[in-house]
């Protein structure tokens, strides 16, 4: 019973999230009461309450005493956790938002590589090289995606910038939940594998500009494949 309620709550959350992000409800507007939402959606009140709680955590709505649930402007108050819901809207990828995410990804990873070349430990350099070697010997799409993420995670960790680490953490769950949609990120082995190796080499040799340039080329190739 609890599992079924959770599934229903997830469905209610997705419906309301899409309504909020699409502009069906404008910032400052009052949402219908929970009782009305439950009736309109044909679900029980508990499922609506759970969905509303998640919307509050995303800062998409706020509860005001005596007023009910008021819509917040997600552009003014939303955080990185809103991104996954913006990219995948109503089961479809929003190409414009995805392009913005990929651009930001490229810029962040290039700078992370620059810092990693300056700050990495010997152990981190060795792990990065090991991941590059493993990628070169791996053809399975799922394994390549997991290794690709691990490669970038190691690169970002070596940069010793906690903000970069948290940004990467914030997209991990959403990325792997929809991994099949992004198979193209790691599909072109002939183009990508030498770039993983060059990033690892430049970081190991503490060549910060070369590391940034190789990472930029790697991220750009993946960006082109996905977009």
CATH number for the region 2-78 comes to 1.10.10.10
| DSSP conformation letters of 63-91 | EETTTEEEE--HHHH--GGGHHHHHEETT
CATH 1.10.10.10 residue ranges of the chain are 2-78
Residue 174 pLDDT: 78
- pLDDT band for position 127 (cuts 50, 70, 90): very high
- Residues of CATH 1.20.120.530 domain(s) within the chain? 96-226
Per DSSP, the three-state class of 42 is coil
Tell me the mean pLDDT in the region 27-36. 92
Q: What is the pTM of this model?
A: 0.84
Average pLDDT score over residue span 107-129: 98
Place of tokens 């590589």: 113
Instruction: Kindly list the distances between the CA atom of residue 112 and the CA atoms of 89, 105, 119, 159, in Å, as whole numbers in the listed order.
Output: 29, 10, 10, 5
User: Does 22 have pLDDT greater than 60?
Assistant: yes
Q: Indicate if the alpha-carbon torsion angle 159, 161, 162, 165 is positive or negative.
A: negative
Look at residues 194, 198, 184, 190 and name the one whose alpha carbon lies nearest to residue 155: 198
Structural fold of domain 96-226 = 1.20.120
Instruction: Name which of 200, 204, 227, 181 is nearest 135 in CA terms.
Output: 200
Q: What is the pLDDT of residue 1?
A: 47
pLDDT surpasses 60 at 47: yes
- Pair 157, 124: CB distance under 8 Å: yes
């Amino acid at each position: 019973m609890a599992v079924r309620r959770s599934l229903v709550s997830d469905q209610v959350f997705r419906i309301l999230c899409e309504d909020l992000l699409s502009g069906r409800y404008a910032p400052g507007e009052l949402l219908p009461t929970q009782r009305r939402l439950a009736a309109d959606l044909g679900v029980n009140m508990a499922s609506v309450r759970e969905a509303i709680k998640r919307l509050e955590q995303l800062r998409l709505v706020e509860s005001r005493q005596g007023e009910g649930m008021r819509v917040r402007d997600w552009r003014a108050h939303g955080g990185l956790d809103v991104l996954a819901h913006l990219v995948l809207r109503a089961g479809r990828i929003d190409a414009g938002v995805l392009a913005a995410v990929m651009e930001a990804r490229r810029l962040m990873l290039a700078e992370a590589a620059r810092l990693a070349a300056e700050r990495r430990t010997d152990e981190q350099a060795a792990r990065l090289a090991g991941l590059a070697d493993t990628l070169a010997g791996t053809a399975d799409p799922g394994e390549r995606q997991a290794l690709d993420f691990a490669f970038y995670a190691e690169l970002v960790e070596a940069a010793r910038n906690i903000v970069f680490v948290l940004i990467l953490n914030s997209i991990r769950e959403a990325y792997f939940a929809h991994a099949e949609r992004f198979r193209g990120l790691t599909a072109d082995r002939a183009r990508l594998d030498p770039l993983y190796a060059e990033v690892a080499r430049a970081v190991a040799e503490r060549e910060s500009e070369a590391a940034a340039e190789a990472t930029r080329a790697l991220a750009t190739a993946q960006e082109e494949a996905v977009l």
